[in-house]
Amino acid sequence: MISRTNYRLSGSLGGLFRSIGRNLRHLGLAFATISSLALIAPTASADVSFAGKTVEWIVPFSAGGGSDTLARFNAPFFSKHLPGQPNVVVVNEPGGGSTKGSNLFEARAKPDGLTILITSGSTQFPYLLGDPRVRYEYANWKIVMASPTGGVVYTSPSTGVEMAGDIARLKGKKLIYASQGATSLDLVPMLGFRLMGLDVQHVFGFKGRGGGRLAFERGETNIDYQTSSAYLKNVAPLVESGKAIPLFSWGSLDENGNLVRDPTFPDLPHFAEAYEMLSGEKPSGPDYDAWFGFFAAGFPAQKMVFLPKGTSDDIVEAWRQAIRDMLADPEYMSARQAVLGQYEQVTDGAAEALQRKGTQVSADLRKRVVDLIASEYGVKIGEK
């Protein structure tokens, strides 16, 4: 089902944009200091205006997940800062673990600046693994914004777990997880739960993490995870009411590429700490390398926003300028942390670097994971 939400905010386009020359902590990228964007970015064409028009923002997931939450939060600010202040309509196109909506964007989006796509790790992983459903090419698209994110794993109190320190109580329990599929971002929990030695049944076919959360709320599953924005919006109330128990976050990467606690959830152990709580030793070996490799590909560049292939430079620059202005908007900056967590949204060269990081893995890592999910989960992926 396609759902549409229309957003518009009034306000002027003017205003200073900020420098993003700070060290981008938690991304694991060795960026040099980026000087003022005013010095490195070309001036947007004065002819670009979207006045009286509507921008369609394709979200290739069902409503309620992390990508949908980010889009619905950012949409009114895009409307506010784009030239001509167009309406911005969020269009949910779920299916195929996000490949359906992404394929539609690749095939049909016109290069007029009026259609954008948000992707997540669930869009990147099928691309990286050679999933035959993929008919899109990241290199064709023009990135305008990127953001890292995190994720939190939580369980039902019916498992006997009362707090994160009780994770060992999950050993030997029959756990059920609602999954979008083995080549989606749910590959990270699949590899992680397997490494931990947890007995988890992965039920494939859910359209987005929002669907997985609803299954958890209905009592159909007893373990789940949500990316940070969806967790803050939809799961935190479940925790407060005692209906969900947070276990651990996936973690974040520091400036040296090391796994550390997620800054949005500093009181929760990260994945490697949770593993050590279960096994008594730090994770290592090829199975951990597989988990870490796809975590690093999927989360530091978790959310990316694109214009379609063939979009002209002046339209790309108009979008990037609007995002620079948005990132300098006090209203946006004061509201985003509560909704999106403590992660930097970036544009220009920083976003391009995140795109490169999130859309490549080694051939050896790819082969290991493809072989693993075929042998243990019966999911066979065609050669790319």
Regarding whether 243 and 309 lie in a shared domain, the answer is no
- The DSSP H or E segment spanning 259 is strand 259-260
Closest to 119 (Cα-Cα) out of 139, 98, 137, 133: 98
| Three-state DSSP class for residue 272 | helix
Q: What angle do CA 269, 350, 272 make, to 5 degrees?
A: 15
Question: The domain that contains 235 carries what CATH number?
Answer: 3.40.190.10
> Is pTM beyond 0.85 here?
no
Specify whether the CB–CB gap between 346 and 145 falls below 8 A: yes
Regarding whether 162 and 29 lie in a shared domain, the answer is no
Residue 375 lies in a domain: no
The low-confidence residues of the chain, meaning pLDDT below 70, are 1-46, 382-384
- Number of domains composing the chain: 2
Residue 369 lies in a domain: no
Q: Please, which residues bridge with residue 303 across strands?
A: 147
Closest to 301 (Cα-Cα) out of 359, 358, 342: 358
Spatial distance between the Cα atoms of 158 and 167, rounded to a whole number of angstroms: 13
Residue 144 lies in a domain: yes
Closest to 317 (Cα-Cα) out of 11, 38, 44, 31: 44
Q: What is the mean pLDDT of the chain?
A: 87
Residue 372 lies in a domain: no
What pLDDT score does 22 carry? 36
What pLDDT score does 222 carry? 98
Regarding whether 226 and 329 lie in a shared domain, the answer is no
Q: Which domain holds residue 58?
A: 4-149+298-358
Show the DSSP H helices in 171-270 as ranges. 187-196, 209-217, 228-230, 236-240
Regarding whether 319 and 272 lie in a shared domain, the answer is no
What pLDDT score does 20 carry? 32
Residue 377 lies in a domain: no
Regarding whether 314 and 180 lie in a shared domain, the answer is no
